[in-house]
Structure 1
């Protein structure tokens, strides 16, 4: 087994002391040159191996030119300085020098720092920040991709991180708009049970900042965001725009990357965002047992120390949802954030009130809610309910077969196999237009009866070969009566609570008056004369 140079040095020095051998004898015993023995007796550790100076015949002639360009970069704008690729291209264009890119890259990476130090350029580094318990926090958005209802969808991860303990709150949303930004704060405040008393650090995102004052820390804030801050009583700190300010909230920047790699890899497959956010809430809770880097305490232990120092939450929420007033177009839809949502056709041409939340879009006419949809991700999406178009389809039955609303109803399962069977039977019994109108009449029953009762009515009608809406209605009401009393429902909305019992039609005072009336001894009426009229026939006119 070959010995290392350090081990060989140790043995030579030991033999020289214990056996008092000469340099020639030591060299003969260990099979090395006498120069090696003298080096071992002089120093206990071998001298570092000298690296040979490699010459670069193609780079050496242009080194001075490259150095001049790098010195000029010290005065140039940050985003207009030479890269190694640009230097290689300039050498080829201006000096006709064909230098490999890897050679230029290695030289530039070494000389750039040396030239900056020679010119006395300011040192670029980071200062470790002291975080007080319960004082500071950081907020950021990051992009994530999930498989939502079978479709790869680009979403946004809202991250809120306490700077002292590292406790983080995460939530995936379809948008990073202002309503999502505000609801993310409310969700985080409620989860941690308070509000940081120091600063919360942000990028200069448009949900909070209207304009960055040039060469200043001052910002013109969005009025609604300013009102939100005043409501919860915290201070916002805005980082330097661009990559230069990323280190000012480096904790949450790293947290977003950590969460993507450890909680969202592989790509989550979920039916709804609510399902995914429930998973993230469980993961956030489990994360409290984790230790950050070399800390001796867990995240949960540090958070327990700062939770008591957080400011108390106000008694009422701010109300983060955004209110809009779009007009209903001729397709019975309103456009909200570049996505279309359907409303009942009778509201075409009117302006309605839309409450835009993180996960839902609620549409109302005054104080009456008329539609509720899950919020769509991205742009250009459509969310159409077939029930909203039934009045139009009664006049245009031929449009049903190729409608987007019918396709969505089939995919969601609200247009069932029972409806398909009834439609086929109704068209076979009459014609396509008449059969389709019969189907639409059946679909209208869902506004007042439960889906299972309508399906039972369809099956009962088809079992006797009657593909008409009237028979389905009768059989559906029979099924509802057999199932017990149930409140009338509206399609797409949960059943309303049962109404209170009506007051008695006859009061106790009335009953007392009736009890004091004298007995009625009159004979019962004679109806024989009236019965004769039943057999009387009108004389035919001549």
Structure 2
């Protein structure tokens, strides 16, 4: 039987190897074997098991300081501004010290993928010689493992930061087991209980602090030193971060339409009305968007990943509202951005729509929250005016007219029956 296995190994022809049945037949024909076929099958099974490495066997790995970083994506859930949101968690781990980096994005697209690595280098204070990742489409154009062809932008990114690319084989999570474990660890320890935050930036600040705490306090099992001690040692071997940052954004040129919005992917974003019908540059990053005109930023937003939405900012339309005040209570930039309490208060202003626009101008200049606080300082029995708000803001007022409510002017009751008596009318 051993001779059969040896011959198979030397020939190395996958589809022409000895089976237990063939070995049994040869023993009967060539050696006059009189035993049962089941005996041979059992013996072949045991011999093959002895000569084959079990599929679950894992090779222990060791890395030199600054040699490699393993990166991966995971999924998690958080409440952002009260809305339950599915997030994608980018995880990176230095292979020598096991220091970690974790950051949340609303999409695992290429912009987020590159931005996350850029911020990871900032967090680690340097760049390893190679990065180990799987074959996700954000990184790989075609092929896998040693034969993977990187996406053009990722190839440019790696050249800018001077690291080599090491792609895993499909389904081989053990090739980046350090970061595979980190995905689960960060979800259990950093995102439980489910965070409730006002923005994804707030969540990422929390994750940044969690990673710093991990560095300062954690010790990996079977390691002689803490993460911090090994990180300080590894830091000396990391390559320096280039002075000029790589532009990780998805960049397009778009025309401002008649509503003073530009389209990026499947959503619209407003810009100041003075840029109407001009071409602007839109830069989409993982979690936010910048809009520039002649290389000067004119607007920025949290990036929207829904479809068919339009994001307005009140300050972009305030000049237009001052020219067309009649539209103020029906204007979408007003209805989408101004609190109902402020709108209801504005309807009480004696000057009508023009006064409401003046109030909105103060909101743009001083912030809506501050203006609403001033509202509570004006007595309820007084007719509110924009001048009263300006007084509290130490701004010059526009007029000396003081509006009083009817309750503030004492009026004596008049007996109107005297007129009936004077003219001889019948008084009932």
- Structure 1 residue corresponding to 2:134, chosen from 203, 224, 233: 203
- Structure 2 residue corresponding to 1:308, chosen from 214, 217, 236: 236
Distance 1:446 1:265 in 2: 38
Q: Is the 8 A contact 1:175 1:378 kept in 2?
A: no
3-state SS of paired residue (2:90): strand
- Structure 2 residue corresponding to 1:144, chosen from 63, 67, 76: 76
**Corresponding residue for residue 224 of structure 2:** 296
Is 2:159 the partner of 1:227?
Answer: no
Distance 2:375 2:191 in 1: 46
| Alignment root-mean-square deviation, CA | 3.8
Is 2:254 the partner of 1:326?
Answer: yes
Q: Is the 8 A contact 1:323 1:355 kept in 2?
A: yes
- Structure 1 residue corresponding to 2:91, chosen from 150, 153, 159: 159
- Structure 2 residue corresponding to 1:270, chosen from 197, 204, 210: 197
Task: Tell me the TM-score normalized by structure 1.
Answer: 0.56
User: Structure 2: any 5+ residue segments left out of the alignment?
Assistant: 1-13, 16-41, 397-428
Task: Tell me the TM-score normalized by structure 2.
Answer: 0.70
**Corresponding residue for residue 367 of structure 1:** 295
**Corresponding residue for residue 443 of structure 1:** 360
- Structure 2 residue corresponding to 1:344, chosen from 239, 248, 272: 272
Instruction: Summarize the Cα distance change of 1:251–1:258 in structure 2 as closer, same or farther, 3 Å threshold.
Output: same
Distance 2:99 2:265 in 1: 33
Distance 1:187 1:466 in 2: 50
Distance 1:140 1:398 in 2: 50
Q: How does 1:18-29 map to 2 (within 5 A)?
A: none
**Larger proportion of strand:** 2
Is 2:349 the partner of 1:417?
Answer: no
User: Structure 1: any 5+ residue segments left out of the alignment?
Assistant: 1-73, 76-110, 484-542
C-alpha displacement of 1:460: 7.1
Distance 1:393 1:479 in 2: 22
Instruction: Summarize the Cα distance change of 1:460–1:380 in structure 2 as closer, same or farther, 3 Å threshold.
Output: same
Q: Is the 8 A contact 1:174 1:378 kept in 2?
A: no
Q: How does 1:66-105 map to 2 (within 5 A)?
A: none
**Larger proportion of helix:** 1
Q: How does 1:351-362 map to 2 (within 5 A)?
A: 351-362=279-290
Distance 2:296 2:379 in 1: 36
Distance 2:383 2:98 in 1: 68
3-state SS of paired residue (1:352): strand
Instruction: Summarize the Cα distance change of 1:404–1:212 in structure 2 as closer, same or farther, 3 Å threshold.
Output: farther
C-alpha displacement of 1:459: 7.8
Distance 1:454 1:346 in 2: 29
3-state SS of paired residue (2:240): coil
Distance 1:392 1:446 in 2: 13
Q: Is the 8 A contact 1:461 1:475 kept in 2?
A: no
3-state SS of paired residue (1:369): strand
3-state SS of paired residue (1:326): strand
Distance 1:454 1:383 in 2: 23
- Corresponding residue pairs, total: 352
Instruction: Summarize the Cα distance change of 1:187–1:351 in structure 2 as closer, same or farther, 3 Å threshold.
Output: same
Distance 1:459 1:116 in 2: 90
**Corresponding residue for residue 173 of structure 2:** 246
Instruction: Summarize the Cα distance change of 1:253–1:397 in structure 2 as closer, same or farther, 3 Å threshold.
Output: farther
**Corresponding residue for residue 191 of structure 1:** 123
Greater C-alpha radius of gyration: 1
Instruction: Summarize the Cα distance change of 1:463–1:367 in structure 2 as closer, same or farther, 3 Å threshold.
Output: farther
C-alpha displacement of 1:363: 1.4
